[in-house]
Amino acid sequence: MTPVGSLVTAYVSGLALGLTMILPIGPQNLFVLTQGLRAGLRGALLAVVTTGLCDTVLIVSGAAGLSAVLNGLPWLRGVLLAVGVLFLFHLGVATLREPLPVDGRLQGPAPGEGAAARDEPAGRGTPGPLPTGAVVARAIGVSWGNPHAILDTVAILGGLIASQPVASRLPFAAGAVSASWLFFLTLAAAGSIFRARMTPRWMRVTQWISGAVMILFGLGFAVEALRELM
């Protein structure tokens, strides 16, 4: 195989592995999708960039040697699980309690508008996007507050990158990083497409689902942390 062919193969392999690891639904993916539903593709780009950068840092850190550190410190897994439980519970509850602004209102339709107003397409009653700081904070929280994301991305993916031949490490890592960015951008675009068909009522349902998923993941990590201690 030619040198160029080897580089392309390494890149495609990293891309395929990255997509395989990021495809399962989780708090991070759901957050980006929800941002696309709330604010459209342009409004969700901040979430895409933040989550993409978070994944990039984890992948590069793992390839640079952090994977060996994680694998050599078994107790660190329990710490990450405990921190993840706190982060995801906090983000989940905050998402559930967050008012959903529609046409400048924090609650449902004004008195007398009835159920029809709640079922207007989102194009007429568009939920306002989250403030910039909240988007960045939540994107970091669902990215670095998820212990499985850290363990999978740093320990497994980073370790696999580090185990590649020297000439293949950079394109393999580039493929893995590309997978995160492409997938997040696709999620935001998908949310943006469906946004025009969403009613305020369904936006609220989506918000509840997002918050509930974060809390459920937190509960799962709590159970896992308890097993680590037993």
Neighbouring residues of 48: CB distance < 8 A, sequence distance ≥ 6: 32, 181, 184, 185, 188
pLDDT above 70 (res 100): no
At how many degrees (to 10) do helices 27-61 and 3-22 cross?
140
Residue type, 16: A
The Cα–Cα gap between 146 and 83 comes to 8
**Ramachandran category for residue 65: left, alpha or beta (phi over 0 → left; psi -120 to 50 → alpha):** left
C-alpha count within 13 angstroms, C-beta hemisphere, residue 13: 16
Residue 182, burial from CB neighbour count under 10 angstroms (0-12, 13-18, 19+): middle
Model confidence at 124: pLDDT above 50 = no
- Residue (of 99, 159, 161) closest to 131 by Cα position: 99
CA–CA dist 230, 227 (Å, integer): 5
Task: In whole angstroms, give the CA distance from residue 67 to residue 165.
Answer: 17
Number of H helices, E strands in the chain: 10, 0
pLDDT of residue 109: 40
Report the alpha-carbon distance of residue 119 to residue 92 in Å, rounded.
Answer: 25
Q: Is the pLDDT of residue 39 over 80?
A: yes
The residue that leads in pLDDT, 77 or 122, is 77
Position 139 scores a pLDDT of: 92
Q: What is the pLDDT of residues 105-123, one digit of tens each?
A: 333 343 344 444 444 444 4
Higher pLDDT, 181 or 101: 181
pLDDT digits (tens, 9 = 90+) for 171-207: 999 999 999 999 999 999 998 888 877 667 777 777 7
pTM score = 0.72
pLDDT category of residue 71 using cuts at 50, 70 and 90: low
